[in-house]
Structure formats: structure tokens, C-alpha cells
Amino acid sequence: MLLTRRHLLLTCGVAGTAALLPVLPAGAAPSPDAARPDDWPAWFRANPQHVALVLDDGRGGRVSHRAHERQPLASAVKVVHLAAYAKAVETGLVRPDDKVRVREWEQYYLGLDGGAHQASLRHLGIPFSNGVTADDPHRHVTLDDLVAVMIRFSDNAAADFLRHRLGDGLVHATAARWPVLQVPDVLAEVLHLVLGRRVDPQRYLCDPRLQLEVIGRFPDVPKTYEGQRPWARGTWSGTAAGLNRAHRALTAVPTARAHLEHGHLGHGHELPPGVAGIGFKGGSLPGVVTVGFGVRWADGRVGSAAVLVKEVDEQRFGTSGDLVASVLKALLEPAVLRQFQASLS
């Protein structure tokens, strides 16, 4: 049978459903079933070597710990893609309403994303009766739609499409503003997980033999959280200092700010008194949780945070929403910021 891209996506997507990588939920609300939120400070005290963070509330309160040590970034790195997109819009390189065929986006999809791609399709109202990819690969979405789902649902295929649409030059130039933030080809990293070796993702996109090899190797992909942790340790990395600077800078970039702030609170919640906007992008991989915030106050003050943690066991990972909530609270309440300082002193 002729191997088509659509057949490959369906085959790999279905095969990969048993080995989904965890994805931090949009908005990252604390789970009512999670362990006590105050367990995270205790975990920090017990594991300071696995924590890198910068918290700056914009009014003189600041906590920094291993801020220049590299740790895995997971999807928190997508603020770099977003910043590059904002620059491209500003300079006229792209327009937010530029049309993209779904098949151009989905060629970068290889499953193993925790259901992020299906959440994106659902959000955009695109039917996917096979449960994996769009029914109509010739349907159009806008470039801004892809940026939105990249940030809101951490759609990896959208990030890779955007990187190649904008060009490596612009993306790397943007990342250079915040040194040591590595910007991955996520498809290349997933192929490394599947094949056990590194291959050029562009070769994979046009080489039927390599595509068949990927299909054949999917059953061997580790299917547990613990089984995927060794791979996650070697993925793209960066520093809390760099990520914090990125979030602080993007509070002043309207195109980027709109995507980071859109829908963060949700569920009918309102912004805290005096707060003009809260921008958020988190990320996760097995063993890794990352959090980035930018907070704007009505008086012009800006707060920002970047928290990178690694070597997180599966039970602790289930309380990630509590960590996200605590980081935001530290930017809003000096007493909570002091608790973070005490945990790492």
C-alpha cells in the first residue's frame, strides 16, 4: 500500500496513545485531589539541586536560586516561538490572518503530546473522526490560530510549523535576546525517543523508508512515565534567568502579550484587584515541570517568574497545578514570596 502522510499520522497517532507525554493543563488550575499545596516548598527544601527559579514581584521582592543553571524547559520554551511570531507580524513578514492548510501543520505531528493536538482541533472546531488527525487536511486555519493553540494547549506540531514558517534565522535571533534558551525541533526530539538516534526531521518528512521505520519502532517506545524520564532529561534546556527575562519583556509586546494572557484564568474568575493582566506559559515532560509568568499591574508595575524543576516523580507531577498556583501567588502576595525564599535558603 502506498504510504501517505495521512496514513503515517494515523498509524503513529494511534500507536502512540498508550505512551502519551504529560502536558500541563491550560491555566494549570490546582486539582482538588492533589496533595497539599504546601508540599511543594517541602519538596524544594529536600531537592534544591533540582530547582532553578527567579521570582520578581516588581516591587522589590526577588528570589533567585540556581538561576543560571541549565535545566529542561519543556513547552515553556514556546514563548520564544511566540516572540519571533510577534516580531514577524511587526515587520510585515507574516500576517496573523495568513492561511495555513491543516496538512501543512499536521505533517509535524507524531503523537506523544498528551492529547494537545486533539485539544487544538477541538478548540478550532475541526472534526477528527479518527480521533487523531483532521478529517479534511485541505481545510484552512490562520497562522494566528496556530499560535493560539501552541500557547494554550502546547501543540508541538504548531510550534514546529511556526518555526519553519518564520525561519530558523528569526527564531534563533529572538532566542539570542535571552541567552541559553534552546529552541528545539520538537519533531526531532520525538523521533529521537522513537528511534533511539537523532535524524533530520526534514529527511523524515520526505523519506518513506524512514517513515516506515518510525511506524515499526512505535511499539517499542517506553509507555510509562518512568520509562520516558531518561529521554526527557536530555531534551532542550535553558535557564530560569533567561526564561524570566523573556516573560518580563513580552509583557510590553502586545501581540505576544495577548496570547499569553488570553484565557489564563478562565472559569469565570476575575483578575485580582489592581492587576491588568496575567500571562502564563508552562510546560511538562516526564520528570519535568516548568512555569513562566508575566504579571502587569494597572500602575505600570511588572512582575515575572520562571520556575524550572526536574526529577519530579509521577505522584508529585500530579500536583503541578498547585505549583503553578503558588508561583502566581508569590508574585501577588509578599508573604508567599518569602515562603519561597525560606524554602531555598
How confident is the model over 295-318, as a mean pLDDT? 96
- Residue 136 host element (H or E): none
- Looking at the DSSP bridge assignments, the partners of residue 243 are none
Report the topology of domain 8-344.
Beta-lactamase (3.40.710)
Is residue 196 packed enough to be buried (19+ CB in 10 Å), middle (13-18) or exposed (0-12)?
Answer: exposed
Q: What is the DSSP letter of 252?
A: T
Q: What is the pLDDT of residue 33?
A: 47
Determine how β-strand 302-310 pairs with β-strand 288-297. Answer: antiparallel
How confident is the model over 129-156, as a mean pLDDT? 97
- Categorize the per-residue pLDDT at 19 as very low, low, confident or very high, splitting at 50, 70 and 90: very low
Q: What is the pLDDT of residue 7?
A: 56
All three cell numbers of 321: 497545578
pTM beyond cutoff 0.85: yes
249 has a pLDDT exceeding 90: yes
37 has a pLDDT exceeding 70: no
- Categorize the per-residue pLDDT at 5 as very low, low, confident or very high, splitting at 50, 70 and 90: low
How confident is the model over 303-312, as a mean pLDDT? 98
- Categorize the per-residue pLDDT at 35 as very low, low, confident or very high, splitting at 50, 70 and 90: very low
Q: What is the pLDDT of residue 16?
A: 42
Distance CA(338)–CA(111), nearest Å, equals 41
All three cell numbers of 108: 509535524
27 has a pLDDT exceeding 90: no
Phi-psi region of 154 (alpha: psi -120 to 50; beta: other; left: phi over 0): left
38 has a pLDDT exceeding 80: no
95 has a pLDDT exceeding 60: yes
- What does the pLDDT look like over 160-188, one tens digit per residue? 999 999 999 999 999 999 988 999 999 99
Q: Return the percentage of the chain with pLDDT > 90, whole number.
A: 83
Q: Return the percentage of the chain with pLDDT > 70, whole number.
A: 87
| Of the candidates 205, 213, 207, the residue with the CA atom closest to the CA atom of residue 106 | 205
9 has a pLDDT exceeding 60: no
CA angle (292 as vertex; 290, 294 as ends), nearest 5:
170
23 has a pLDDT exceeding 90: no
All three cell numbers of 39: 508540599
Distance CA(177)–CA(134), nearest Å, equals 36
- What does the pLDDT look like over 282-294, one tens digit per residue? 999 999 999 999 9
